[in-house]
Structure 1
Amino acid sequence: MGEVIIDFIQTMGIVNITWQQVVMIIIACVLLYLAIAKGFEPLLLVPIAFGMLLSNLPLSGVMNEAISKIQFINPVGVEAFKEGVNAHVSTQTPGGLLHYLFQGDELGIFPPLIFLGVGAMTDFGPLIANPKSILLGAAAQFGIFTTFLGALVLGFGAQAASSIGIIGGADGPTAIYLATKLAPELLAPIAVAAYSYMALVPIIQPPIMRALTTKEERCIVMTQSKPVSKKAKIIFPIVVTIVVSLLLPAAATLIGMLMFGNLLKESGATDRLSDTASNAMMNIVTIFLGISVGASAEAQIFLSAQTLMIFALGILAFAVGTAAGVIFAKIMNLICKEKINPLIGSAGVSAVPMAARVSQKVAQAESPGNFLLMHAMGPNVAGVIGSAVAAGILLSLFG
């Protein structure tokens, strides 16, 4: 009886827990607090943090791989087998639930589906109405290539540096997609860093935006954009898909899904499909992707010097991307007759619509009557395209 009790105690998680797992559980609880109590993008952070919590509970087995065993036997007396030929019996222990969900990340399935849903929810009208916005979206991708160079200096290879740099695009699906292609061994820290920083955009961006602009610049009121025709909105996703795919075939999957989702929305003939892509499918894939990405952050993988460097480079990428967008908007004001509020440049980092909302919030803190949201959505959606194009460039160069 004593041995049974001892065996039972040894199967308890509390006697098998390590200090690394304790640290990861605390981090997961802090992220849950930020998501639920402080409202930092709970749709992203709650699944990620809870997946992290589950995978770091000792002996939970949620991320265990399936184990196959082959037992060879000698079928003596069975005429169907000749001498020297063995038969075998195969047995398999199933893997954990989140291990199977994580295959959607590893195989590059979930990120394009997220892009499909994002496309179905996105209005490219502000970008079409103000084509200059695409320059701000492009400028914000400067953080990607700056961080790529920084990662090379720190000793990462070109493929790993590319995967780390893309964190600066503030686009979690793109970061996951590129990491699965170029540096799958770094997928866990890159994915968690990308989504964590996306959720923390309201904290990271405002100090940088205020530091780089004057009160007068933050109070610039932009004129209302011209209306965009339905025909232009239908043609836009088709043209973008063709042009980008011809120039960068590696970006065709992400851009294609993004623009396909947008075409479902704008065509007016596929309302049911658009509704499914932007609601039910998007919610399901977000849950699966979030909880499986969080579960990949196991203590033995996550708590390392390399992971700390990735997180440091990730915050650098966000900061540089935000600063580059704001600075480029200021440069455009030296050239353009119609003034641009530099705050919308920060929205080019792609986190839709979080970054655009931050631009609006910072502007209204200075001038309550200044409504920048629709103006900021131009560079914001341009940033989505820009990050996918940047990923295509890196994949073409180093894939």
Structure 2
Amino acid sequence: MVDLIDWLVEQGYASTTQRNHVRAAARLGSWMVAEGLTLGNLDASRVVRMVGEDNARHPEHRSANENVSAVVRFLGETGHLRPEPEACAEDSPAEAFLAGWLRFLEEEQGQGVSWIYKARRLGRAFLALIEDPSGNLCWELVDVAMANDFLGRVVTGYSSSTAQSEAVLLRGLLAWSAANGLINEQVSLGILSPRRVRTGLPKGLTTGEVAALKGAVDLDCSTGRRDLAIIVMLSRLGIRAGEAAGLTLEDIDWREPSVRGVGKGGRVLVLPMPVDVGETLVDYLRVRRCDPAERSVFVRSLPPLQALHRTGVTEVVSKHARLAGLEGVYAHRLRHTAACQVLAGGGTIRQVQELLGHANLASSMTYARVDTESLRRLAPSWGRLP
């Protein structure tokens, strides 16, 4: 128990939470006595079984029993828990195929983490349709009609851009299948393209809205300085939520000063660090609380004090946008805001491309439509057409 309490303090758990976990450890000890177990023959699966049995007998214990998971993590990290027996079963044909395709996307095509995540999700859903009860893949079931029917179900309710991405992924999966001799190559060519809906102008926040968003942050809160640093960085540098989540302490060069990030496709971006970004980062890093071995810049506020995920970064923006009365504002709106600020300050589309890290200038050209001052000079005066 003494070791557990020391560990809970090191992990940053609040005093109330520490007491709850200690009670959970005592409950675990009672189960072990009833089962005739010692730490030498206790493993995680046995704990899961005991928790399940207690929840079934006493549903009112369910909430308290959730605290046992932290105790099990402590036992595992400190070597008190017997390791689980290693699984000797080989990957199923579906998992083996999916692993090969994902490896191809990462190593041969250089796709990033976000694209790999989407590919894994779509691939598993598709392969589940052709997997028989014995685990084998029935490729003879795959034809153009079946694939398009699957695509239609997958994209229902999603935006035009998401539907386009899913179609590209499915086309790629089928092309990989054809390259491995599993299906006819004509199947991938028959995948329909979802209707592309022309999107509106990229919409950034006004100067007043950005100020309101930053003003909604409570700097007296334990996470306030972190959240402000995230908002300022995204709105000034135009980086994506995933890129902010992936920043490490080594990515910040205080002498330059600059910030190094990894964008889509593994492209490395080195962006100058404005004064306000540097100031908010310094204010946050002075109170940043985590394990000394954790090198991520932005970390969770609750144990385990590890790197904040991309969804956590997005939630920081959306939470304070709601507090500021700005509905429908997420992390990507701050990326648009940064691009629009460049143009409003007299910058060029090429500078927008460099800031956002677009591989192709065409991706940045959509912002030309919001550069009204430049467009106004191209429009002839009314009544003076030659």
Higher helix share: 1
Would the TM-score normalized by the shorter structure come out above 0.5? no
Q: Normalising TM by the smaller chain, what interval?
A: under 0.3
Which structure exhibits the higher relative contact order, with contacts defined as CA atoms closer than 8 Å and separated by 6 or more residues? 1
